[in-house]
Amino acid sequence: MAGRTLEVPIGREPESARSALPHASRTAGQRFPDIGSYAVIGDCRTAALVGADGGIDWACFPDFSGDAVFATLLDRSVGGAFRLCVLDPVEVTTLYVPATAVLETTARTQRGLAIIREAMSTLNEEEDCLEPEVEILRQIEIVEGEVDVHLLFEPRTDYGATPVRLKSKGRLGWSFARRSRFFNLATDLDVRSSVDGTRLEGTTQLTAGARRDVSLSFVSQDPGVVPPLGPEAHARMTRTVDWWRNWTASIAWDGLYRDAIVRSALCLKLLTHARSGAVIAAPTTSLPEDVGGSRNWDYRYCWLRDASLTTRALVALGCMDEAGAFLDWLLHATRQTSPRLRVLYDVYGGDRIPERVLSHLHGWRGSRPVRIGNTAHDQLQLDGYGQIIAAAAEFVAGGGHLGATQRRYLSGLGRVVRRRWREPDAGIWEIRGERRHYTHSKMLCWTAIDCLIRLTEDGFLTENVEELARTRAEIARTIEEECYDPQRGYLAAIGWKDPDASLLTMPKYGYLDARDDRFRQTFETIDRELTVGDGLLLRYPSGFDGLRGLENAFGITSFWAVEALARMGRLEEAKRRMETLLDCASDFGLFGEEIDAATCGVLGNYPQAFTHVGLILAAEAIARADEREQR
């Protein structure tokens, strides 16, 4: 089972104890933990990253792309702090409670043993009660002996730029408000406010049988809600565990890699915005693709490029409710800007996402600038049309239903594709600068038309199939004549000889069979020229995007290669690569956007939905190939 165990030699001061010293948040320096050492908790509206020292180092409110009140992930000195830990531990093990997104840390000291459970407690079913919008609930229970428990709470708004003044509200706890947003920290641990009122800190000695709670609640606009501690808090934690277990019980996957699939499904669920159905790319911003470099982007939004594969992964998992909600969001969001599509949207379908640099933040291991917002939203990506139509086709293939408005909208998108497929664009990788005729974009335009034909033949649409078939053939002719090189296979773009790993998805979209010689040749070129480690692939060669700095191996392209191998019938090789990639997961079975080829460490925004989608689809392809072989 994935998890993290830290053994601390007796007599040596552990990191958690050092960082729990008074004023630690000011003096901790800028030593950043590995990205892969973080676990993620969430409530399907927002998420928080929990570090090995018991610190919540990243949490945004009220939703994924809201203001970060804890941003220690990006700056150890001004990012604030919300740390709950046991002092002087000799061994600390952190695991997810099986089949949930609830964390459980077992900390042993020389004098005792404590268990800390933490989660975001408020989930969908509780919305109709008097509950806060968000609650981070942390509970500690002393199992044996005597344990010193340390709590440090120092929130800062505006991504760490503004310290807050905490007001004591008697037995309700401490609160602060920022504009219309209200936060309340309630705890039955001993804490004292600092002189300037910006920080709470305290150490409590607890003995076996003691149980204490820490609850950070958040409400916007309305009067605040302060959830009670004690047995009520215990009941909330139990409900949360049960909620996640019930959800994972519905995952339809009994095949290979079940643990990795369940963790990936939980990751996708954590990154799904319950109120809108949107699936965001990742809950973080500016975790770098290149340590110390400038490839730092804000991923707390929804990318169209992920749409059809995400839908397909959800359908493969049997999560038809989530797939339907995601498709509804997708069609709703893109209809607002249709016929022009944005590259990304926020969770409510908004398309105004201005990019801003947060110069006060140091950046993870000095990776600057730290950006919020994303100007990529204004690029032209023609593959977006294909993604939407293919997502609808995947949903229908899984047994879903399309409404009359949705069908009309898909037909309208088809007309746009027929009109615009010859144009150059920024491509799936959002390459800034001059537009190019990317093969992948042309292929997704082909996919759009192909899916429309299938939907028409299945009776969902009433399109002119002959006209569509003519367009499909014309696009295919362009790809075959201008994007294919007999020596290298399909190329990244017309006039460019470079390989592009996104073309590994050609069989997935049905453009050609994986056993076709043209695809084999394409695979070999990509595998030969883009491999940077065992089973690890770049998405394109260095310098192809015109940016300075090096790229690392891309998570999803590496899983695409596994899928391609399985589809090509090279099952053993696919399985071997799959195992290798699974070994690159973080301590908690999670993947970021990229993988460091040298250390196999996690890089880029984390955890990344797209990579987990790749993992699920690779496992699905292996399972199918396995089935075929056994037959």
Partner 1 sequence: MTAFPALAEAFGNIEIVLVWGLVATLVLTVGMYASQGLGVSRLSLPFLMGFYVTRRRSRAAIFGLLLYMFGGWVFAFLYAWLFATLGFSGWQWGLLGGLLHGLFLLAVILPLLPYLHPRVASPYSGPTARRRLEPPGFLGLNYGRMTPVTTLVSHAAYGSILGWALPG
Residues that bind partner 1 (CB under 8 A): 127-130, 169-172, 175, 177, 179-180, 182, 184, 186, 219, 221-229, 232
Minimum CB separation of residue 156 from partner 1 in Å reads 19
Minimum Å gap between C-beta 507 and partner 1 is: 48
Nearer to partner 1, 235 or 252 (CB): 235
Tell me how far apart the alpha carbons of residues 204 and 583 are, in angstroms, rounded to a whole number: 39
Cβ distance to partner 1 smaller for residue 229 or 530 = 229
Nearer to partner 1, 230 or 255 (CB): 230
The CB-of-135 to partner 1 minimum distance in angstroms stands at 11
Residue with tokens 């599509």: 341
Q: How far is the CB of 555 from partner 1 (least distance, A)?
A: 39
Within its chain, how far is the Cα of 280 from the centroid?
6
Kindly state the DSSP code that residue 288 receives in the 8-state scheme. -
Q: For residues 344 and 303, is the Cβ–Cβ distance under 8 A? A: yes
Residues contacting residue 341 through CB under 8 Å, at least 6 positions apart: 304, 334, 381, 384, 385, 388
Tokens found for residue 126: 């509780």
Residues whose CB is less than 8 angstroms from the CB of residue 156 and which lie 6 or more positions away in sequence, other chains included:
69, 70, 71, 78, 79, 80, 162, 163, 164
Sequence-ordered list of residues with C-beta below 8 angstroms from that of 421, at least 6 positions apart, any chain? 382, 442, 445, 471, 475
* Residue 29 or 170 with smaller CB distance to partner 1: 170
For partner 1, the closer of residues 65 and 387 by Cβ is: 65
For the CB of residue 629, give the shortest distance to partner 1 in the complex, in Å. Answer: 53
Output 219 or 333, the one with its CB closest to partner 1.
219
Closest approach of partner 1 to the CB of residue 227, in Å: 6
Calpha distance 344→405 (Å, rounded): 22
Q: What are phi and psi of 264, to 5 degrees?
A: -65, -40
Q: Return the sign of the alpha-carbon dihedral for residues 598, 600, 604, 610.
A: positive
Q: Are 37 and 4 in contact (CB under 8 A)?
A: yes
Q: Among residues 300, 359, 295, 299, which one has the least CA distance to residue 78?
A: 359
Cα dist. 281→8, 285, 378 in Å? Answer: 35, 10, 17
Nearer to partner 1, 213 or 563 (CB): 213
Q: Least CB distance from residue 148 to partner 1, whole Å?
A: 25
Between 204 and 456, name the residue whose CB sits nearer to partner 1: 204
Comparing CB distances to partner 1, the nearer of 186 and 382 is: 186
Based on CB atoms, which residue is closest to partner 1, 222 or 480? 222
Cβ of residue 608: shortest distance to partner 1, in angstroms? 33
CB nearer to partner 1: pick between 127 and 485 = 127
Minimum Å gap between C-beta 207 and partner 1 is 23
Measured from the CB of residue 214, what is the shortest distance to partner 1 in angstroms? 14
The count of other CB atoms within 10 Å of the CB of residue 49 is 25
Please state the closest distance from residue 164 (CB atom) to partner 1, in A.
14
Nearest CB to partner 1, comparing residues 222 and 423: 222
Within a 10 A sphere around the Cβ of 627, how many other Cβ atoms?
A: 10
Q: What are the CA-CA distances from residue 1 to residues 95, 245, 614 (Å)?
A: 8, 16, 21
List the structure tokens of 545.
């995007």
Q: In this structure, how many other beta carbons lie within 10 angstroms of the beta carbon of residue 70?
A: 27
Count CA atoms closer than 13 A to 3's CA, side-chain side. Answer: 17
* Whether 201 contacts 149, CB under 8 Å: no
The terminus-to-terminus CA distance of the chain in angstroms comes to 31
Task: Give residue 470's identity as a one-letter amino acid code.
Answer: R
Polymer length of the chain: 631
What is the nearest approach in angstroms of partner 1 to the Cβ of residue 174?
A: 11
